[in-house]
Chains A and B, each alone.
Chain A
Amino acid sequence: MIRFEEVNFAYGARSVLRSVSLSVGFHERVAVLGGSGEGKTTILKLILGLIRPDTGSIIIDGDDITRRSESELRETRMKFSIVFQEGALFDSLDVKENVAFCLREYTDMSEDEINARVRHILASVGVEQALELMPEELSGGMHRRVSIARSLALDTPRMFLYDEPTTGLDPVNADNICGLIAELSKNGKGFIMVTHKVSDALKVADRFIFLRNGSLLFDGNRHELLNSDHPDIMIFINEVCIQGPSGA
């Protein structure tokens, strides 16, 4: 269980999160929605301990990680796997080495075993043909898929964190990525997906959290979201009405 208790966070003088309290189970499929600069990505970074809250507590599996040191945070971080907005692939390594990165660090697998595992993972996300390409040679959609593949290399993560996984992708690729995220969540591992696209969130998530001005404006299920009469949320919902919610 991930628990935020009265979390406040600011980048310098700019307040990003204001008294945010929430709980998310590791098995849940959650979408964090909101406009740009509303603190969505900040929530993911706080969960991973990449940044620390100014006040308040973040409790993961009963452990308060708020003031943990870098070395103490490693065990907590291994419970998660994140796909950053731009993929964050290591640009000096090819696709194979990116996916094999954790296997080389944490397992004693032979080169043949690593090759087989990498090919299997890449095939499962539909980019096995990209094995020997460098990150700069990948399209936006392939980049995200390889990043997701890398996050699958180890079995240790209990939850996936996706930071704007469909931003910058064409509708077909965005739909494919959403399908992949939904497929991966079928094995009981939950996810938190940060996005400003309600249509994508509706395709994959069961629970929706809406941030506005750094505060929690809405926390509910699909039905409650679509029937909300809050004007800020309605603006986002209207986007779905115009585009047509394939998953709604």
Chain B
Amino acid sequence: MDVKRTISDLQDFYSLSLHGLLGIAGRPFYFKDALLQMDYAGAGSVVIVVIVDLFVGMALSLQLAAELSSLGLKMYIGMIVGISVVRELGPVVTALVFTGRVGAGMASELGSMALGHQVDTIRVFGLDPVKKLVTPRIVSSLIMLPALTVIGVAVSLLGGYYIAVFVSHQSGTVYWTSIRNILTVENVLAGASKPFIFAYLISSICCYMGLSTRGGSVGLRQATTRAVVMSIVMIIVADFVLTRMLLYVLGFSV
């Protein structure tokens, strides 16, 4: 492992991710670019997020029904599904789907631009490629991933409801009452803060990997794979760290 190269790459990554984020605050603003990215990242991802989160909610509810019925505790399905989905599964699963669809797209698009000298062309035109290409993608991710997470959580809860009521024959009223009871400020904050961190991580990692693509089509494949793998690993690690921090900050005892 080339330590010097690794440190240099990390420096470049931190510089790009910070510069990309700070680009939100200064002129010029690339509103149109950000809107196009939001359309691709948000509207284009709704269907897949709905499908994945629906089945995650249904599978979770099914597993819980199987275990809790033997204990005579099936009335707790709603509560456990609600806590799991709102705090943990909703944000993480949606972020993973977002990585696979949007993150991979960012890395391959920017990689292709880098290989085709389009990024160099932007630099020659006297423009800042980070501001022009990275900042709109960070902005769109920071807006659309939380929005998709809200949709994903809602759909997961609906999936859980379907299994609890129509398969496990529980009362729908009990299910929704349990859900309403767990929607406390603490639980909602614990789940709602994560998508912003995940969005920043995914967009920064995927943009960096894309812009640093070298070596033709093989290099593009490697850059896209690295972007997706790194993003997934960082989502899982960040999720643990965030969960630990949030439980402490929000006063949960473990």
Contact = CB atoms under 8 A, between A and B. Distances in A.
A90 B125 contact: no
A90 B118 contact: yes
Interface residues of A, number: 23
Size bracket of the B interface: 10 to 19
Interface stretch (A27-35, A73-81, A171-179): A73-81
Contacts, number: 46
Interface string A82-100: 1011101111000000000
Contact of A91 (B28, B116, B123, B126): B116
B117 interface: yes
B211 to A, nearest CB: 13
A62 B125 CA distance: 21
Given A84-B117, A84-B120, A88-B117, A102 B128 contact: no
B177 interface: no
A105 to B, nearest CB: 6
Contact of A82 (B113, B124, B126): B124
B124 A48 contact: yes
Contacts of B113: 90-91
Nearest to A74: B126
B121 interface: yes
A70 B123 contact: yes
Interface string B105-125: 000000011001110110111
A90 B120 CA distance: 11
Nearest to B116: A88
A50 interface: yes
Nearest to A89: B118
Contacts of B128: 70-71
Interface of A: 45, 48, 50, 70-71, 74-75, 77-78, 80-82, 84-86, 88-91, 101-102, 105-106
